[in-house]
Amino acid sequence: MRFTLFIWRQSNKEEKGRFKKYQVDDISSSMSFLEMLDLLNEQLINKNEDPVTFDHDCREGICGSCSLVINGVAHGPERGTTACQLHMRSFKDGETIHIEPWRAKSFPINKDLSTNRRSFDSIIQSGGFISINSGSVPDANSTPIPKTIADKAMDAAACIGCGACAAACKNSSAMLFVAAKVSQLSSLPQGKAEADKRVLKMISTHDKEGFGSCTNTGACEAVCPKEISIGHIAKLNREFIRAAFKSDLNL
């Protein structure tokens, strides 16, 4: 397979970037998208050119590092798939592919396709914890939790914090990310002790980091590689309203 690539090249966050054209040949349809970029970088290095910088780690759809907008879609054309798990058979032979980094004010570009997502770390640190001393590992059945609630908590916990939701939103909102973290913990008994403080702190940090408000368009859910439902945003709103009301009444 042969592809024409237009890749965003940018030295750092201060410099202006631009798309640069590359040609890659003899690409196997079973290659992952990142393996294709690896091959391109090998060719660039052999020609003493600067390789393309991009984020990656596990390459198993778990870590959330692969932050690529491919042909205008976060993580590419396959629904429920991270860029590292996207294969070249998803594209037509001879196709032109545009590759760029996340586009969000709160994700400044480090270089080329690599972005700084420390803002997500700040949100997690502000409230994504529980202070209950659980002691030794309890028996799995010692805390009865209805399966429907456990399933919802697990669905939210599937969030890998990749940032695709913010990159896809026209307001660069990270509400799906915040909602997943809040919903995950507030659904379970272990997370209820600090539920009110957590939701207030995490939303406050979300706003301070420069993320916008939810647009209700569903773009975040559409590109989420773990297909997390925007229904969690509704739960986040309910948690926030209740916590804010109790805070105003000093309850």
CA angle 54, 59, 63 (to 5 degrees): 85
CB 209 within 8 A of CB 151: no
Q: Does the pLDDT value for residue 3 go beyond 70?
A: yes
CA-CA distance, 179 to 237, in Å (whole number)? 8
Q: Residue 145's pLDDT is what?
A: 86
Please say whether the dihedral angle defined by the alpha carbons of residues 52, 167, 95 and 82, taken in this order, is positive or negative.
positive
Q: Which two tokens stand for residue 112?
A: 């080329």
pLDDT recorded at residue 171:
96
Report yes or no: 21 and 121 within 8 Å, Cβ to Cβ. Answer: no
Distance of CA 88 to the CA centre of its chain: 22
Q: How far apart are CA 5 and CA 148, in angstroms?
A: 45
pLDDT at 109 over 90: yes
Higher-scoring residue by pLDDT: 134, 75: 75
| Whole-number average pLDDT of the chain | 93
User: For 157-216, what is each residue's pLDDT tens digit?
Assistant: 999 999 999 999 999 999 999 999 999 988 888 888 889 999 999 999 999 999 999 999
Sorted by where each starts, the structural domains of the chain and their CATH numbers stand as 3-111 (3.10.20.30), 118-248 (1.10.1060.10)
What is residue 194's predicted lDDT score, i.e. its pLDDT? 87
The rounded distance, in Å, linking the Cα atoms of 43 and 88 is: 18
Residue 236, pLDDT > 80, answer yes
Over range 242-251, report the average pLDDT: 80
pLDDT at residue number 133: 67
The pair of three-digit structure tokens given for residue 45, joined into one six-digit string: 């290095």
